[in-house]
Amino acid sequence: MLELLIGIYAGICWLLIKKLKLIPWNFTTQVVVYSLPIFGSIALILSLNYLCPITSDVKVGNRSVDITSQVLGRVEKVYVKTNQEVVKGDTLFTIDPTPYEQEIRSLEAQISNMKSTVSSYSSEIEAARRNISSLQSQLDLSNKRIKQYQELVDAGAANRFDLEQAVATSQDLQSRISAAQAQKSSLETKYYSNHGGENASVAELNARLDKAKWNLSQTVVVAPTDGFIPNVQLNEGAMMAPFKSAFVLIQKQQTIIAFYAQNELEAVKSGDEVELALKTAPGKVIKAKLEYVVDATSQGIMNNAGGMIGGAGSTAGIPETARVLPETDGKLIAKFVLDENQPPLTVGSRGTAVIYSDNIKPLHLIRKVMVRISSKVNYLIPKLH
């Protein structure tokens, strides 16, 4: 565009000075004729770069979601193909549910058995109480006999062996009472222990049953969001393990960012008009709006040790703008949003972007011509093979 303006200026000078001879060609005229395009070009370029900043470092990206399985199993069926669009809730693939269905049936049987067992605890506790009462009565009688035998032995009217036998019987009854009390205590603990108003043993099995049902539900893997799947290599019969990626789902919502020098974005603000010329869409000018400028770079974030993170660091939420080349290091990021009538762009597209500020709008025409020329140049493929 600058070359075109200089050409028009040279044509006007030739017409007025050489052809029509309306202006004399002297020293003063020569200084003016040669100086005006130089200083005018400098002023024009500086104004354009400040009021209509342009960059050739544009990226189109989409967020992605790794599709994984939460359970281990063999893939039973795959419902999607490469480049297929899906909506949230669509079935992507299923895993053989047989092991998890068997686990559910087993747990249901265990719960039924446990409920029966818990119901029997009440009668067992009552039987233990009667047994303890009976043994206590026998122990009381045995202790009386021991006292009687002791008196007879002291009087020489009884055999000491009978006394010793009575003592052994009393000790045996005491041991049986202790065992019966321990059994009763154990039964009461199992019967009266509860969680959430339910017997603890039954509650534990119900929790395992809930987990088994959740595992069964995870054998059907669905799309977590709208998007498309660029590449499907998962086959039926393949083994899937938890957190093993099956494929990637790319969300439809696109992020368009551009890198600018730190002093280029002073005159722009959110909502300003943006035009894009992408290599994947030669000859087309894509309309967008400036959403915001990330007013920070990762090189300026200090870590907990008090030092600067620098190019090799990683800071959540702050785009990494450190590059190997010094001329691209530390640039600010501008984020664009497409106009509603614009179709989705190719993921990973690169190209040129211009932001039009609200100042000196006649300058927009020059930038618009430059963007359209750049979009046409994208048709060219300059390689020799």
- Statement: residue 217 has pLDDT above 90: yes
Quick check: 96 and 76 in contact, CB under 8 A?
yes
Judgement on whether residues 73 and 107 belong to the same structural domain of the protein: no
In CATH, what number is assigned to the domain containing residue 207?
A: 1.10.287
Judgement on whether residues 35 and 182 belong to the same structural domain of the protein: no
Instruction: Give the model's pLDDT for residue 310.
Output: 47
Residues 47-102: pLDDT tens digits?
989 999 999 999 998 888 999 999 999 999 999 999 999 999 999 999 999 999 99
In a domain, 90, yes or no: yes
In a domain, 300, yes or no: no
Quick check: 228 and 83 in contact, CB under 8 A?
yes
Instruction: Give the model's pLDDT for residue 304.
Output: 54
- Statement: residue 297 has pLDDT above 80: no
Q: Report d(CA 218, CA 372) in Å as an integer.
A: 51
Mean pLDDT of the chain: 84
In a domain, 265, yes or no: no
Judgement on whether residues 204 and 148 belong to the same structural domain of the protein: yes
Range from 28-37, 159-168, 187-196, 228-237 that averages highest in pLDDT: 228-237
Range from 37-46, 146-155, 184-193, 229-238 that averages highest in pLDDT: 229-238
Other Cβ atoms closer than 10 A to 166: 19
Backbone angles phi, psi at 253, to 5 degrees: -65, 125
Judgement on whether residues 13 and 46 belong to the same structural domain of the protein: yes
Q: Which residue has the higher pLDDT, 206 or 21?
A: 206
Number of domains in the chain: 3
Judgement on whether residues 170 and 115 belong to the same structural domain of the protein: yes
Instruction: Give the model's pLDDT for residue 1.
Output: 58
Q: Which sign, positive or negative, has the C-alpha torsion 282, 283, 288, 290?
A: positive
> Which of 78, 53, 63 has its CA nearest to residue 265?
53
Judgement on whether residues 138 and 180 belong to the same structural domain of the protein: yes
Judgement on whether residues 212 and 106 belong to the same structural domain of the protein: yes
Q: Report d(CA 242, CA 240) in Å as an integer.
A: 7
In a domain, 354, yes or no: no
Q: Report d(CA 85, CA 149) in Å as an integer.
A: 97
Helices 363-377 and 27-51, axial angle in degrees (round to 10): 80
For residue 207, what are the domain limits? 99-216
DSSP strand pairing (273-278 vs 245-260) = unpaired
Residues 141-183: pLDDT tens digits?
888 887 877 777 777 766 777 778 878 888 888 888 888 888 8
Judgement on whether residues 180 and 212 belong to the same structural domain of the protein: yes
In a domain, 152, yes or no: yes
- Reported as a pLDDT band with limits 50, 70 and 90, residue 325 is very low
In a domain, 368, yes or no: no
> What are the C-alpha distances in Å from 306 to residues 103, 302, 303, 310, 347?
54, 6, 5, 12, 38
**pLDDT, mean of residues 1-18:** 77
Helices 27-51 and 2-13, axial angle in degrees (round to 10): 160
> What are the C-alpha distances in Å from 162 to residues 127, 142, 157, 315?
32, 12, 11, 90
Range from 32-36, 95-99, 168-172, 369-373 that averages highest in pLDDT: 95-99
In CATH, what number is assigned to the domain containing residue 72?
A: 2.40.50.100
In a domain, 187, yes or no: yes
Instruction: Give the model's pLDDT for residue 309.
Output: 45
Q: Report d(CA 264, CA 318) in Å as an integer.
A: 19
Judgement on whether residues 111 and 197 belong to the same structural domain of the protein: yes
Instruction: Give the model's pLDDT for residue 339.
Output: 86
Instruction: Give the model's pLDDT for residue 366.
Output: 87
Judgement on whether residues 129 and 77 belong to the same structural domain of the protein: no
Judgement on whether residues 189 and 111 belong to the same structural domain of the protein: yes
Residues 307-324: pLDDT tens digits?
444 444 454 555 555 544
Judgement on whether residues 46 and 113 belong to the same structural domain of the protein: no
Residue ending a domain, choose from 14, 29, 51? 51
In a domain, 284, yes or no: no
- Statement: residue 273 has pLDDT above 90: yes
Q: Which residue has the higher pLDDT, 189 or 278?
A: 278
